[in-house]
Structures are given as structure tokens and as C-alpha cells.
Structure 1
Amino acid sequence: MTILVTGATGRVGRHVVQQLVKRGADVRVLSRDPAKADFQSGVKVAKGDLLDIDSLRAAFSGVNTLFLLNAVTGEEFTQALITLNIARESGVDRVVYLSVINADRFVNVPHFAVKFGAERMIEQMGFNATILRPSYFIDNDLTIKEVILNHGVYPMPIGSKGVAMVDTLDIAEIAAIELIRREQAPGKLPIETINLVGPDTLTGPDVAAIWSDVLGRPIAYGGDDPTGFEQNLAGFMPKWMAYEMRLMVERFVSDGMIPEDGDVARLTKMLGRPLHSYRSFATRIAASAAKPV
């Protein structure tokens, strides 16, 4: 049977497809623009999106297992609920859903509340599911590398409680492992929730210190200013989204994103290797920046 991957052209989804192909899975991706879905040979592409009922029904034909990833948009909740309903209608009950850590606690943040609502639907409709709850993506900091490199400031207001940032490669590999496990199971498995975290829980000053070390020059932490953060984001994204991101970083500052006991050990055992660290990410960026043009 086939595994359907949504969000397949994004940072996480693309790696999920690669990991599934590596494991010999039959993969189909859903894409609004098949021309952008330049995957390995053998990956099938279904044209459509999560609000196009006809294309969804067609995409689910012959599918046994779903990887559900939908982006932060004003329609995210509707997309998730419709996709899960069409999955059930199509006889698909094996699901791996990409949620977010603390989805049940940070409910004032819209996309956290959305994901918590989708988790409840998955549970109440009796899906055979793994719910993945990643922390802040290490790779998000690719968007601020120029600020770090050119201005000597780490600008993300992540606070002093600590955030266990996770690499998208680790997210994708765990997702693929769970998709294959669900796909190949002879019967229904219980719902499981897995926190996806990195090996280190870092504060804003901790991250600035890592950058200082790998670059060999002082990098300052920009501080815990959600107002300035929102204003900067509003310059290049919709204001509602900038405000939502502000609400998220306010929770970073007040609560952090801290693993539960055993999370790191569980993930390390599942992967059979150490988790990717923020220091490794920063070291790669620093080495790339040091290369002559």
C-alpha cells in the first residue's frame, strides 16, 4: 500500500519523502504545483491541496497511511480537519501527524491551539496514530544567519527558560520510522505521542555563546523583546502572522520548550545515533561563511 505525504515540498516534508524512499516505501505526495515536486524516481505526485475535496479524494485512492503536515495559515484548522475526515472516508486510519510541543499548554497561540484541536480529533475518531510534537526547529535560524554574521547579534527572543531546538533531519527520520511502523503493523496500534527535541536545552545567551565560539568573535543576545520581534516580522509577513509569532515567543520567554524526562534517550534509541545539535548547525554555517567567494 501507499503512504501519502502532505507538505512534501517543505523543509520537513521533503526529508520525510527521502527517508521513506530510502526505506523502500511506496510514496505519493500531494502538491499544488507538481512542477515543484522534484522527488526521486518512483515517487508519485498527486495535484491538489488540503481544501480541494475532489483532489483529496483522488489522492487518497489506494493509500493506507497518511503523513499530515499542514503549514501555519489562517485556514490551518480547516485543512487539518477536512483532510482527516477525507482520510477516514477513504478507509485510511493509519496517521502520523506533525503537531508541536506544548500544544496542550500554549493554547493562546493560534497554531498551537489548532494542532491541539487536530490531536483531539485524531484521538476521538479512533485513528491508529502517532502524534509528533517537535520543538522549535534549528533550521528556522537559517532565516536570521545574516543578522548573526553581519551584525553580531542573535535576534531570536527565546528567553532564559530554555528551548530544546530540534533538527528537521531528526524530525523527518522519526516520522519515517513511525510511518513505516504503522504501515507494516498487522493490526491497530495504540495512539502514541512523541516529543521531538534536540540534545541540548538552550537559552538565548547559550545560543549567542555558541555562535561566539564557532565564529571566534563576540555575538550578543538581542534580548527578550517580543514587541520588536513582532514589528520586524510585520515588515515582510501578514500582520496576523507576525502577531501570532509574537505570542509564540512570549511563551518561549515565560515557559521555554523543555523536554520531558526520557525524551532525548527515547529519540536517540529510535534513531540509533545521537541527535543533531545546535552547535553542529552553527559550525556548518560558520564554515560556509568562511569559505572564499
Structure 2
Amino acid sequence: MTILVIGATGRVGRHVVDQLVNRGASVRVLTRDPAKADFPAGVEVAQGDLLDIDAQRAAFTGVDAFFLLNAVTGDEFTQALVTLNIAREMGVDRLVYLSVIHADLFVNVPHFAVKFGAERMIEQMGFNATILRPSYFIDNEHMIKDVILDHGVYPMPIGGKGLAMVDARDIAEVAAIELVRRAQAPATLPVETINLVGPDTLTGSDVAAIWSDVLGRPIVYGGDDPSAFEQNLTSFMPKWTAYDMRLMAERFVSDGMIPQAGDVERLTRLLGRPLRSYRDFASALAASEETATA
């Protein structure tokens, strides 16, 4: 059983590789720069990117199933459709695709609309696929930890409807379970969509309260201003990306990221354990910062 992991160097993909190795799968990864790849022993590293047709054909040779995670780039949609077409050409129709929760609803947000387009191709072109729709990643909070710890402000404009934030390790474990299930299935399985959420749906004020409790000092919520969020992002990312993130934040505020009935229970059964919580993350991060400064 050989499984190809595309998007293996990111915060989810690395965990997917580890989970697959732990389950006894032979793992191949596709990466632009093998010299920077740091994977467990035995993982095969193939060089190339998602617009390199020859590299993709080589990477898909002899593969039983694949994991597809597309980075948010200006040509994300092209990358996704090229990869899915190459997979079909090479006879690999079993996959787990990492989409995003509410991809079918947040249609004005570019990277959501892209993922919904890829979902439609998967559903209409005969793939044997699990589509994973994660909520906002808890792990994104590493990017704002200094603002929280040094300035006492939780700056993400996540609004008052609530986000069911999910841990990247839980995403990766579900992905590995589904990849192995599909790779080993004796017959074609129907397309299935799974919402990936955390155990709690939290507002901006809820998150600030968790940090206040964990740190033992007041942390305030910075408020629901996606335009200020966009301005901050333009200091370290392209303006189109910052605008994309601003549109996403607007939907956080107007709609939230709300689980469907039964999502948490389904994931708990699938994993055989409780989901990792935001409080777990905040407590671990605070403890690590205390250790680093001791």
C-alpha cells in the first residue's frame, strides 16, 4: 500500500505523513525542494510541483491512494485540477482531499470557492474520495501568540457567532484513517464529506476569556474589524492574499464556522478519543513560553 502525500511540508501534511508511517503505509511525498524535506526514515521523496506534469506522472506511478492539500496561491485552482486530472490519467482514483468547512456557502471567499470547485470535480468525475472540510485551524494561533502574550490582546476578528476551531493533529489523524480505509477497500466506496471541527464553538470574547484564565491576567478581544485585519496582513503577505483573508474574516463575523448536528460525536467515534480543545492548545503554548523564558 503506497500513499502519495501532496502538501506534506505544512502543518497538516507533516502530521499526515507521521500518521501513515505509524499505520504501516509506504509513503511518498511530492515536494519542490527535497533537500529541505525532513521526514521519517523510509519515506520516499519525489521532487516537483503541481504544475510540473512529468514530475506528477512520476509521483503517481505505483500509488494506491493520495492526499491532496493545495496551498492558498494565485493558481490554486489550476494546481488542484491539474493534479486531479493527472491522478485519473494514472489510474489513481482513491484520495482524501482537504477542503474547508462551508466551502459551498462562503462562495465569495476566493480560496473557499476554489476548494468547492475541486470538490465538484471530485464528485462528478468518478473519484473514490473522502472530502475533509476543516474549520479554522487552532494552530494558526502561533502566528499571533506574541500579540496575545506581549500586548494582552486577542487580535483575530472571529466575531460573535463562533468558530469550532480544530487541531491540525486531529485533521491529520482523520485523513490518515480515511486514506488507509480507501486504499485497502476491496471495492469502490462512495464519496463522503466529513466536517472537521473542535469540541467547542468559540467567539472572540470566549477565546480572550480562555487566554485570561490560562495566563492569569486580562486578555481582551480586539474586536470585529476585518479591514484592520487586512491592513495588518499586508505587512507580510501579498495584498491579494490579505484581501482573501479579510473576506474570510467577514464571513467569520457574519456567519461563524458552526458544526452540523453530530459532527463532534462522529469525529470522537472515528478517533476513539476526545477532540483536542482550544484550551488544551492555549495551556500548552503558555507552558512552553514559560519554560523558554525560565
Global fold match (TM > 0.5): yes
Give the 3-state SS of the residue equivalent to 2:251 in structure 1.
Answer: helix
What CA RMSD, in Å, does the superposition of the two structures yield over aligned residues?
A: 0.6
| Paired amino acid for 1:124 | Q
**Alignment partner, residue 46 of structure 1:** 46
Provide TM-score, normalisation by structure 2. 0.99
CA drift at 1:13: 0.2
Quote the offset at 1:33 in angstroms. Answer: 0.4
1:221 aligns with 2:241: no
| Secondary structure of residue in 2 paired with 1:261 | coil
How far apart are the structure 2 equivalents of 1:88 and 1:114? 19
Work out whether 1:74 is the aligned partner of 2:93: no
Counterparts of 1:152-163 in structure 2 under 5 Å?
A: 152-163=152-163
User: Hey, what's the Cα distance between the residues in 2 that align with 1:130 and 1:36?
Assistant: 29
- 1:104, 1:288 → 2: CA distance? 38
* CA positional deviation for 1:246: 0.1
- Deviation of residue 36 (structure 1)? 1.5
* Conserved? CA contact 1:16–1:176, under 8 Å: yes
Output the TM-score relative to the length of structure 1: 0.99
The CA distance in 1 between the partners of 2:37 and 2:134, in whole Å, is 24
Give the whole-Å Cα distance in 2 for the aligned partners of 1:179 and 1:246. Answer: 33
5 Å-filtered alignment, 1:207-286, equals 207-286=207-286
Matched residue type, 2:197 = V
> Could you tell me how far 1:115 is from its partner in structure 2?
0.2
* Contact 1:9-1:36 at 8 Å conserved across structures: no
Query: Conserved in 2, the CA contact under 8 Å of 1:109 and 1:248?
Result: yes
Match of 1:126 in 2: 126
Identity within the alignment, %: 80
State yes or no: 1:23 paired with 2:23: yes
**Any gaps of 5 or more consecutive residues in structure 2?**
none
For 2:119, the aligned partner's letter is E
Question: Given that residues 101 and 196 in structure 1 are in contact (C-alpha distance below 8 angstroms), is that contact kept between their aligned partners in structure 2?
Answer: yes
Cα deviation code 1:204-245 (max 9, x no counterpart): 000000000000000000000011000000011000000000
Q: Summarize deviations over 1:20-65 as a string: whole Å, max 9, x none.
A: 0000001100000001211111110000010000100010110110
Distance 2:200 2:35 in 1: 38
- For the residue of structure 2 that corresponds to 1:63, the secondary structure is coil
- Could you tell me which residue of structure 2 aligns to residue 84 of structure 1? 84
CA positional deviation for 1:173: 0.1
Q: Which runs of 5+ in 1 are unaligned?
A: none
Distance 2:45 2:288 in 1: 34
Do the aligned partners of 1:154 and 1:208 also contact (CA within 8 Å) in 2?
A: yes
Take 1:263 and 1:35, find their aligned partners in 2: how far apart are those partners?
A: 39
Contact 1:9–1:37 at 8 Å: present in 2 too? yes
1: distance between equivalents of 2:289 and 2:56? Answer: 43
What is the distance in 1 between the residues matched to 2:286 and 2:61? Answer: 46
Which residue number in structure 2 is paired with residue 98 of structure 1?
A: 98
Over residues 263-292 of structure 1, what are the superposed CA-to-partner deviations in whole Å (9 max), with x where a residue is unaligned?
000000000000000000000111122223
- Report if aligned partners of 1:132, 1:193 keep a CA contact under 8 Å in 2: yes
Match of 2:34 in 1: 34
- Residues 28 and 44 in structure 1, CA contact (< 8 A), matched pair in contact too: yes
The number of equivalent residue pairs is: 293
